[in-house]
Structures are given as C-alpha cells and as structure tokens.
Chain A
C-alpha cells in the first residue's frame, strides 16, 4: 500500500498571505488528523476529519481551518500567516472506525513564513 502523501513538501510564504496544504491518506483510511510541529511547542494536534466532518479540534485560532473531500483527501488552510506559523505540518491517517485506530503519518510540509 502507498503511504500517506503530503504536498507540497516545502513552502515559503510572507506574512499576511494564506496557504493550503494537502494530505492524501492511505487507501481505505477515512480519518485524517493534522498536527503542527515547532521547536518551541513540539507536536500539537490541530484537528481531525472523518467522513468530511470535523470530529475533533485542538486549541488553535480560527485562522487554521481544514476540510475533507469525499475521497478522504484533506486540505488545511492557514489564513493571514504570521511568523510563528513557520513549522512542520504533519497529517496522520487511520481507518477511523475506532478499531485498530493506529495513526500513520505523512512526511510533512515544511512551511517558512518570512
């Protein structure tokens, strides 16, 4: 099986811009979770989508949003970028059925905000 894929892998933006990141899950996986990793805060949960609905949410401002499509692919959007949004953004996917709920991570998208 192909693993979790994330695009793009690297991105440079300037303050005030917005960015959209994409995550394609492992075949058969319907749950997609997003995480932010920074040197100061470590790995933090952003939100989780299952069947096109947000099922769980972390403690991030409304500038961070996401969506999921009918094929389970997910996108996350960050609007009005701030310098502190520079981070590695990771998505993790799982079956989402509550059984065998191991999450598998993609390689991440490294975002640099200038």
Chain B
C-alpha cells in the first residue's frame, strides 16, 4: 500500500470548516483513499473513502486532486466532538487487505 504524509497536528475553531491535507504521491491506480478518526483511544471510526471523484457523506467531504497525489478531508462545521486523531490511508479495496496506519493528524477543535 502507498504511504501517506499528514501534518502531525492542527487546530481548528469551532463552527469553522476543518481542512485536513494528506499527501500520497505514490498511490497506484487501484488504490482508494480512506479516512478514519480515533477519539481518545476509542476504536477508529470510518469517515469516508474515494477513488477519483470527490465524495460527500453526512460526516465529511473528500476532495481528491486530479493526479490523485493528494487529498483533503473537509469537516464542514467542526464541533468540539470532532477533536480526534485523523488517519489518511491508501489501500487496494480488495478482500484480505490490511489497513496500514501512519501517525495521523491530531486535530484540536477550540471554542
């Protein structure tokens, strides 16, 4: 699986959009971008994933650049409960594949 690079930490103001970048310059054509978050040592929570097109669900939006070498997770209106470590993972969407976690981005949402 391709490696990802994320900033170690970032702050965000409550109510504002949080934009979390992720670089995956060695991503292959059949690799998806997945985002998970982990709140205070709970189990990681699935957020969203995508291949080429931008994706949106009730939690977040995922913007993938045209060359697929980077992506941005957008939390449209950050709340204090969004404080967590966010992990960007690229992997082949196939049976039997493991998730390889990097260090993630520690996001602190401030009032």
Chain A interface residues toward B at CB < 8 A? 4, 31, 33, 35, 37, 42-45, 48, 50, 55-56, 58, 88, 90, 92, 96-98, 101-108, 110
Contacts and interface: CB of A to CB of B under 8 A. Distances in A.
B99 A102 contact: no
B54 interface: no
B96 A45 contact: no
Interface string B29-46: 000001010000111111
Nearest to A103: B99
27 contacts: A33-B98, A37-B41, A43-B101, A45-B98, A45-B99, A48-B96, A55-B95, A55-B96, A56-B97, A88-B41, A92-B44, A92-B99, A97-B95, A98-B93, A98-B94, A98-B95, A101-B93, A101-B94, A101-B95, A101-B97, A102-B34, A102-B46, A103-B46, A104-B46, A107-B42, A108-B41, A108-B42
B106 interface: no
Contacts of B45: 105
A56 B92 CA distance: 14
Interface string B52-91: 0000000000000000000000000000000000010000
Interface residues of B, number: 21
B9 interface: no
A55 B97 CA distance: 9
Contacts of A106: 43
Contacts of B7: none
A50 B34 CA distance: 22
A50 B96 contact: yes
B77 to A, nearest CB: 24
A87 B80 CA distance: 27
